[in-house]
Amino acid sequence: MLNVKINGKAYRVREGTTILEACREVGIHIPTLCYLEEISEEGSCGVCVVEVKGAKTLQRSCVTEVREGMEIFTDTPLVREARKLNVELILAHHNIDCPVCERNGSCELQDIANRVGVKDVRFEQAPFFYKEDLSAPVVRDPSKCIFCQRCVNVCDEIQSVSALSIAHRGMRTFVGAPFGNLLVDTPCVNCGQCIMYCPTGALTERDDTMRVWDALNDPDKYVVASTAPSIRASLGELFGYPPGTFVRGKVATALKMLGFEKVFDTNFSADLTIVEEASELIERAKNNEKLPIMTSCCPAWIKFLEEYYPEFIPNVSSAKSPQGMMGAVVKSYFAEQMSIPPEKIFHVSVMPCTAKKFEAERRETWSHEFPDVDAVITTRELAQMIKEAGIDFKNLPDSEYDNPLGEYSGAGTIFGVTGGVMEAALRTAYDLFTGKKLEDVEFKPLRNFEGIRVAEVMLDGVNMRVAVANTLGKARELLEAIKSGEEKIHFMEVMACPGGCIGGGGQPIPSTDEIIRKRAEALYTDDEKSTVRKSYLNPWVRELYKNFLGEPGSELAHRLLHTHYEKRLLWEKVGKSN
């Protein structure tokens, strides 16, 4: 422990602590902009400067460690003026279009400017040298970039994708795709975590709301919506509810008020995914082939595998994601039930995920000559549509989702949490594999937010090792362990975003660890309250197989509900072309 003084008061703090950490521990707030604990500690923005007795210059508190006897001042006139000056310099190199910016009201730069007392920018606006990149579901606007490098560090440290880098110097400094490429020409997996950590509107999702509005106003279109498991635990935040508030009934009401003919629940197709995936797992486990089997629900994970580990593509379940299965069923079974030509149905998927926009465009996921999912909007985009329509979300009554694609099991709802797909699959696989009924359906060892969790499950005398990877960086670690023989795994789940879909790139900002945990609690509570907690026991799923699909793995099920993947190696091609 070290003895220090902060603003004239004596404290004891741990050795190795930065000034910023020390101040936070004793309840003193220092503003930060570029700083992300253990991820981005660049000290580039200069907003966190403090005065240290004896030092010739102001110190950047996020990268300066405390020393024995140090005297720190966090609120002197010099400190306040320096912070204001640094923010003004950032604003002089920033496109100040706040009223029309995607992040207006949730922008950290906007908040910091208010906090440090910036009333005007004394410097001439710098020229902008780079155009907006609209090539991918993640949109980059260089005119709003403040070069904090948070996106670069998150993409590298958390996701191990390295699709972004910083280049050039001075006025022409640029954060974007390496070699000057568009984002679509990189191994970017479209996870959107760069959006979640960007403090400004420099990174956003592609806005697809106008396409949805156009469809809703087209008399020749029969417009339906399906919503992901995690939406019900996160959308409320954008209307003033505490994180983790369960708003499923209000979501259904809002979508119907927007003009959707039917509102379906992607939890239903999550159950369908489990039935197909569990059947595939049982077959491979019995024959001891293509193991470990890997989940295919996360499109960012799938693209990551295609780019970096194509040798594992045969291990991935051929089952489509819940979004993909819902789209296929909507434009086959539901269209047939309603006697509607499938090409007249406009299917909108509401997802917590920017990568789902990419997935919907993948032709190998289509079951027709046209997309099964016509538009994907994020949680944030749905909130914007509700606000544009003047709907008072907080005072909406609850309503029900529409059948036959609106009912779900508790297993379907926990798909939104890291480890949830694995747990849901094991509940069904156990019963189908052993012929017995699993009584304790909660796999507690899988219910935490550790980067990698490994557990053993006994299935009728077969010891099955299962693993869950939380984020792509941890997936890389696990894959390397499997390649080296260090780990022997039978079944593996990967979700790209921290915490799973509840921390997805399309969710409300911010999505802190605490907020993500509260969203997870809401989904686990919904599971606990469910009468049916195993996917294969969902009566509407059983009805679908009985009257339409036949049985899991049937020829029709394979044609509609399964797909294939291919190696990309785009990163290698980009490097060679440059």
Please state the domain extents for the chain.
2-91, 209-561
List 501, 511, 530, 535, catalytic entry: 501
What CATH number was assigned to the domain covering residues 209-561? 3.40.50.1780
501 in catalytic set = yes
Q: What is the pLDDT of residue 577?
A: 43
| Pairing mode of beta strands 345-351, 222-227 | parallel
Q: What is the pLDDT of residue 575?
A: 46
Report CA-CA distances (Å) from 313 to 186, 295, 317, 452. Answer: 20, 11, 9, 20
CB 282 within 8 A of CB 245: no
Q: What is the pLDDT of residue 286?
A: 78
List 34, 151, 155, 297, catalytic entry: 297
List 102, 280, 381, 493, catalytic entry: 280
List 108, 277, 381, 487, catalytic entry: 277
Fold of the 2-91 domain: Ubiquitin-like (UB roll) (3.10.20)
364 in catalytic set = yes
CB 78 within 8 A of CB 12: no
List 42, 205, 307, 359, catalytic entry: 359
- Give the HSE-up count for residue 311: Cα atoms under 13 Å, Cβ half-sphere: 4
Q: Is 445 left (phi over 0), alpha (psi -120 to 50) or beta?
A: alpha
- Looking at residue 512, the DSSP 8-state letter turns out to be -
- Looking at residue 277, the DSSP 8-state letter turns out to be H
List 143, 279, 317, 349, catalytic entry: 317
Counts of helices then strands in the chain (DSSP H, E):
20, 17
Q: What is the pLDDT of residue 267?
A: 98
CB 378 within 8 A of CB 227: no
Q: What is the pLDDT of residue 463?
A: 84
List 250, 262, 356, 357, catalytic entry: 356
Q: What CA–CA distance (Å, rounded) separates 324 from 169?
A: 44
Q: What is the pLDDT of residue 578?
A: 42
CB 310 within 8 A of CB 569: yes
359 in catalytic set = yes
CB 136 within 8 A of CB 190: yes
**In what helix (H) or strand (E) does residue 215 lie, and over which residues does it extend?**
helix 209-216
pLDDT in tens, the chain (578 residues): 999 999 999 999 999 999 999 999 999 999 999 999 888 888 889 999 999 999 999 999 999 999 999 999 999 999 999 999 999 999 999 999 999 999 998 999 999 999 999 999 999 988 888 999 999 999 999 999 999 999 999 999 999 999 999 988 888 888 998 888 899 998 999 999 999 999 999 999 999 999 999 999 999 999 999 999 999 999 999 999 999 999 999 999 999 999 999 999 999 999 999 999 988 888 888 788 888 999 999 999 999 999 999 999 999 999 999 999 999 999 999 999 999 999 999 999 999 999 999 999 999 999 999 999 999 999 999 999 999 999 999 999 999 999 999 999 999 999 999 999 999 999 999 999 888 998 999 998 889 999 999 999 887 777 889 999 999 999 999 999 999 999 999 999 999 999 999 999 999 999 999 999 999 999 999 999 999 999 999 999 999 999 999 999 999 999 999 999 999 866 555 544 44
3-state helix, strand, coil in the chain (%, to 5): 45, 15, 40
List 289, 364, 543, 551, catalytic entry: 364
528 in catalytic set = no
277 in catalytic set = yes
CB 198 within 8 A of CB 185: no
